[in-house]
């Protein structure tokens, strides 16, 4: 490609030991080798003729062929360090044993993994690794899941010759989530390489030298990235363990339930570990390893900290487990039968007095497909109102409609191997972290050309971008439209110079050449900056650009709602004459809506106008809510129906790529709480539709499937993933893990060819301009504040995790590096941000994320200063402080987070 700016191959951060590159880009489990392929290499493995690919290591071929070679430091998603030496094997005509993870296969080589020499090497290395290891297995949280424990039995000696004192380290207390026992460390450096390469932050390293070498964090600070909890699973010994789970249970005491996370649209598969019906921990899916189901130390199914540590919200003290009706101005407990009967009568009265269209039904984006489908049918077919919606978190009705347009035009995912990535706006690492991880992996590990375009770039993905371009705030749509024109036959790039500002050595000509000459790619579009206030301008332009590209390109819009794709596909949105969620409060104030039914109160608490919410609720004739928790809003309800939490429920979710996943009940429902599916079915029948709905999960899914995917025969059993349970119904059909989560070649063990992918492709007019006036950028000299959501930010569900305060992101202000000196701020220092009378003390990050003249702040992170309170762009005043953020910026004190409105920062 002429003039293309190509980034050098991505390398891990320095200081992590020997590195020889990454494992090959093939799936080491399922991608069989074609013996006739030009890169096929034939050799002998333990007396058997096998084939590998040129450039593969011996260990990779052994993994694929089912020949297990013990290893500690090698991991399929990390660079090769080659420092544990446990994977030594014998190769004929080679004078000494070789480490199989670092030795590439060669034609006609003869490899022996089970020879006397190989076994002797394994015994010797195990003896060496156990020299300093303490014998504290009975009190170690890794007991029963420890590779070192297992290998010492299978490959080690039954005696020790160690007579000297073992080395000892003082135990640090660096991280609130991860416990570090340095005495147990075997220096595999998996944790270091994970933080460098996957986590995106160089926060861990090997310190000192020789016998005194140890793993630690810089400045004794915490492991400050949203994926840090994965080092617990990757650690092959008991060095890194979970603090929230510490000393609570043994793995053999816990029941495993394979399910899916409900926190964001990444849709990760997870295993819930429970005892007596209560959750103890959440991990990536356990796999059949070493003859039983356990944590897979070689997993590439990483999950974020919010899904790992924040999924215990169902046990929050504010949980309501009984149904209530209002008597004498306050809610009083009652039976399920009386509560549902009262709710139905209240809705009937509203319909009789004001008509069916005076009722609105709002649905949480965390609702399952079955719950959304039943809520839609209850509203449109039983009540007779078109006012049903899940899109309450967006800035206005136009923004919500733009999101629906985008989802209707979405035809891209990571199933197909993209030749290039174009990421437009948004901050995926904060709103859909594991999706961002997958995109970063494509750019970093597989060197896929990656382009960043817009007023804000995700710095996590952008660190590995091939080229990046900034747009002025509100001009991204114009830039995308001009880019589509330049790509068209006979088009010119002349008009792009004033719309796209290159970052670094990027050039507009290189961008146009890349897009013209790439046959297949993926356009990823973040929609939630300013709650989608600019989406009506950007979505038609982005869809237009997608259609101007080659036929095999795809479009992937990104929102954070867990089941946004599923609820859109199920039609949980208003008709043309219906009322969108964003207009409900105004309609209540005008007297157009008199009855309100909410399925999950976060559907109300996501609304942008929270100031008028309570006053609007008080004007209703009937307010019925189905929810988990008591709250100020729920206490205003006429009828409160206690709902089971997601972890207590069965159902189906779709992730942002349209892949279906099974939500499987792991905890026992509390009190008289019922699944929303059953509550909606009861209400429908009490409202007069005697055969309405489905109490059983399988029947409800069959009804949904018959409408949205009539040609499919996928049952709930087909969506189960391989796992272990005391209940025989949990055993999987087939041998591969559930619905797909990333491209087959990138994800060993979690891919299903017969999994259903859900799309509602009816976006024929999605590229047509919308009649919309975007929020104006106010005049002034200060930088413009841009904000977007964060999966761990303050919110209805996130606030109710047991360690919500630890998980909540600290207030970080992203500043463009060209603006830093002008604004007087320094990296990892504090600054005071002021808007009118609101002030907050925040840490500073300097990168190429925000466009020049803008700064970025995640919503709900800076105490009383909540960026989300401002529906559009505002200008801010920034005062740099000569004060370094402690512990790499994560240990900001409560006083810092509670920076008082209008207070003098010098007093804090």
Q: Are 858 and 865 in contact (CB under 8 A)?
A: no
Report the share of the chain in percent with pLDDT over 70: 90
| pLDDT, position 16 | 30
Q: Are 498 and 477 in contact (CB under 8 A)?
A: no
| pLDDT, position 24 | 59
Report the share of the chain in percent with pLDDT over 90: 69
Provide mean pLDDT across the span 606-612: 86
Q: Which residues of 557-581 are buried (b: 16+ CB within 10 A; e: fewer)?
A: bbbbbbbbbbbbbbbbbbeeebbbb
Q: What is the pTM of this model?
A: 0.91
The larger pLDDT score, comparing residue 372 to residue 25, is at: 372
pLDDT at 9 over 50: no
Q: Among 756, 685, 752, which Cα is nearest to 374's? A: 685
Average pLDDT over the chain reads 87
Across 330-344, 633-647, 758-772, least confident range = 758-772
Cα 822 from chain centroid (whole Å): 35
Q: Which residues of 186-218 are buried (b: 16+ CB within 10 A; e: fewer)?
A: bbbbbbbbbbbbbbbbbbbbbeeeeeeebbbbe
CA distance 906 to 908: 5
| pLDDT, position 906 | 32
pLDDT at 108 over 60: yes
Provide mean pLDDT across the span 633-662: 94
Q: Is the dihedral of CA 704, 709, 710, 712 positive or negative?
A: negative
The larger pLDDT score, comparing residue 731 to residue 843, is at: 843
pLDDT at 358 over 60: yes
pLDDT tens digits, residue range 12-43? 333 333 334 556 555 554 567 889 999 999 99
pLDDT tens digits, residue range 386-425? 999 999 999 999 999 999 999 999 988 887 678 999 999 9
Helix (H, G, I), strand (E, B) or coil at 281: strand
Helix (H, G, I), strand (E, B) or coil at 693: coil
The larger pLDDT score, comparing residue 163 to residue 18, is at: 163
pLDDT tens digits, residue range 412-466? 888 767 899 999 999 999 999 999 999 999 999 888 999 999 999 999 999 999 9
The larger pLDDT score, comparing residue 721 to residue 450, is at: 450
536: Cβ contacts below 8 Å, ≥ 6 apart: 398, 399, 401, 402, 770, 772, 774
Provide mean pLDDT across the span 741-755: 38
Q: Among 538, 544, 512, 508, which Cα is nearest to 526's? A: 538
| pLDDT, position 25 | 56
Provide mean pLDDT across the span 680-698: 95
| pLDDT, position 4 | 39
Order of strands across the sheet that contains 421-424: 501-503, 467-470, 450-454, 421-424, 522-526, 554-558
Across 180-194, 366-380, 435-449, 886-900, least confident range = 886-900
CA distance 106 to 61: 12
Is residue 856 very low, low, confident or very high in pLDDT (cuts 50, 70, 90)? very high
Residues composing the chain: 908
């Amino acid at each position: 490609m002429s003039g293309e700016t190509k980034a050098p191959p991505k390398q891990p951060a320095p200081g992590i030991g020997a590195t020889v590159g990454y494992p090959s880009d093939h799936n080491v489990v399922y991608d069989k080798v074609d013996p006739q392929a030009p890169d096929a290499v034939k050799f002998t493995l333990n007396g058997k003729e096998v084939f590998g690919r040129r450039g593969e290591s011996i260990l990779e071929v052994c993994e694929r062929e089912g020949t297990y070679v013990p290893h500690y430091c090698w991991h399929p998603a990390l660079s090769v360090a080659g420092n544990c030496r446990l994977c030594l094997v014998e190769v004929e005509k080679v004078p000494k044993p070789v480490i199989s993870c670092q030795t590439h296969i060669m034609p006609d080589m003869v490899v022996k993994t089970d020879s006397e020499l190989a076994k002797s090497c394994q015994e010797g290395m195990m003896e060496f690794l156990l020299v300093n290891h303490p014998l504290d297995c009975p009190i170690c949280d890794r007991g029963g899941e420890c590779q070192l424990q297992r290998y010492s039995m299978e490959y080690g000696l039954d005696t020790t010759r160690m007579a000297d004192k073992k080395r000892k380290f003082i135990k640090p207390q660096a991280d609130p989530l991860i416990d570090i026992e340095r005495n147990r460390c075997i220096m595999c450096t998996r944790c270091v390489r994970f933080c460098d390469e996957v986590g995106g932050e160089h926060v861990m390293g090997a310190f000192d030298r020789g016998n005194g070498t140890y793993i630690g964090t810089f400045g004794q600070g915490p492991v400050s990235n949203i994926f840090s909890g994965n080092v617990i699973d990757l650690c092959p010994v008991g060095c890194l363990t979970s603090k929230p789970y510490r000393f609570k249970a043994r793995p053999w005491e816990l029941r495993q339930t394979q399910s899916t996370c409900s926190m964001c649209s990444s849709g990760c598969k997870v295993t819930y570990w429970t005892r007596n019906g209560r959750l103890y921990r959440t991990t990536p899916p356990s796999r059949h390893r070493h003859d039983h189901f356990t944590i897979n130390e070689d997993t590439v199914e990483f999950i974020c900290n919010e899904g790992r540590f924040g999924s215990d919200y169902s046990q929050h003290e504010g949980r309501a487990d009984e149904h209530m009706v209002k008597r004498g101005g306050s809610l009083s407990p009652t039976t399920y039968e009386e509560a549902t009967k009262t709710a139905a009568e209240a809705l009937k009265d509203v319909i009789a007095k004001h008509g069916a269209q005076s009722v609105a039904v709002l649905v949480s984006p965390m609702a399952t497909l079955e719950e959304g489908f039943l809520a839609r049918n209850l509203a449109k077919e039983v009540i007779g109102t078109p006012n049903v919606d899940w899109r309450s978190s967006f800035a206005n009705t136009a923004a919500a409609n733009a999101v629906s347009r985008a989802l209707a035009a979405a035809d891209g995912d990571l199933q197909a191997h993209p030749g290039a990535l174009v990421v437009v706006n948004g901050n995926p690492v904060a709103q859909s972290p594991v999706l961002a991880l997958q995109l970063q992996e494509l750019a970093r590990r597989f060197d896929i050309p990656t382009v960043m375009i817009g007023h804000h770039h995700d710095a996590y993905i952008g660190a590995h971008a091939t080229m990046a371009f900034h747009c002025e705030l509100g001009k991204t749509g114009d830039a995308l439209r001009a880019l589509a024109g330049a790509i068209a036959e006979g088009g010119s790039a002349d008009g792009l110079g004033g719309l796209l500002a290159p970052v670094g050595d990027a050039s507009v000509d290189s961008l146009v050449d890349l897009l013209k000459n790439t046959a297949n790619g993926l356009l990823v579009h973040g929609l939630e900056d300013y709650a989608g206030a600019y989406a009506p301008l950007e979505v038609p332009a982005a869809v237009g650009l997608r259609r101007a590209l080659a036929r095999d390109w795809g479009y992937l819009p990104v929102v954070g709602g867990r089941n946004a794709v599923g609820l859109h596909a199920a039609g949980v949105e208003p008709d043309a004459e219906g009322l969108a969620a964003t207009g409900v409060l105004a309609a209540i104030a005008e007297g157009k809506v008199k009855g309100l039914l909410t399925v999950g109160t976060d559907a109300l608490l996501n609304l942008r106008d929270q100031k008028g919410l309570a006053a609007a609720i008080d004007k209703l004739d009937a307010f019925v809510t189905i929810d988990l928790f008591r709250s100020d809003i729920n206490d205003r309800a006429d009828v409160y129906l206690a709902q089971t939490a997601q972890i207590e429920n069965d159902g189906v979710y779709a992730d942002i790529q349209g892949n279906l996943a099974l939500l499987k009940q792991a905890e026992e429902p509390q009190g008289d709480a019922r699944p929303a599916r059953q509550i909606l079915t009861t209400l429908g029948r009490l409202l007069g539709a005697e055969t309405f709905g489905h109490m059983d999960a399988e029947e409800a899914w069959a009804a949904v499937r018959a409408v949205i995917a009539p040609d499919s025969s996928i049952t709930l059993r087909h969506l189960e993933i391989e796992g272990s349970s005391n209940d025989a119904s949990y055993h999987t059909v087939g041998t591969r893990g559930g619905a797909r989560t990333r491209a087959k070649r990138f994800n060993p063990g979690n891919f299903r060819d017969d999994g259903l992918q859900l799309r509602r492709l009816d976006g024929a007019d999605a590229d047509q301009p919308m009649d919309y006036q975007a929020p104006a950028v106010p005049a002034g000299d200060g930088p413009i504040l841009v904000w977007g959501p964060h999966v761990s930010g303050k919110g209805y569900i996130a606030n109710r995790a047991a360690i919500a305060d630890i998980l909540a992101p600290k207030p970080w202000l992203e500043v463009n590096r060209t603006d830093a000196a002008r604004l007087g701020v320094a990296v990892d220092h504090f600054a005071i941000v002021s808007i009118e009378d609101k002030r907050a003390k925040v840490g500073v990050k300097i990168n190429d994320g925000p466009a020049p003249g803008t700064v970025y702040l995640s919503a709900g992170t800076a105490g009383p200063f909540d960026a989300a309170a401002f529906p559009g762009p505002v200008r801010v005043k920034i005062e740099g402080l000569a004060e370094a953020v402690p512990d790499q910026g994560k240990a900001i004190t409560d006083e810092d987070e509670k920076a008082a409105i209008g207070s003098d920062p010098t007093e804090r």
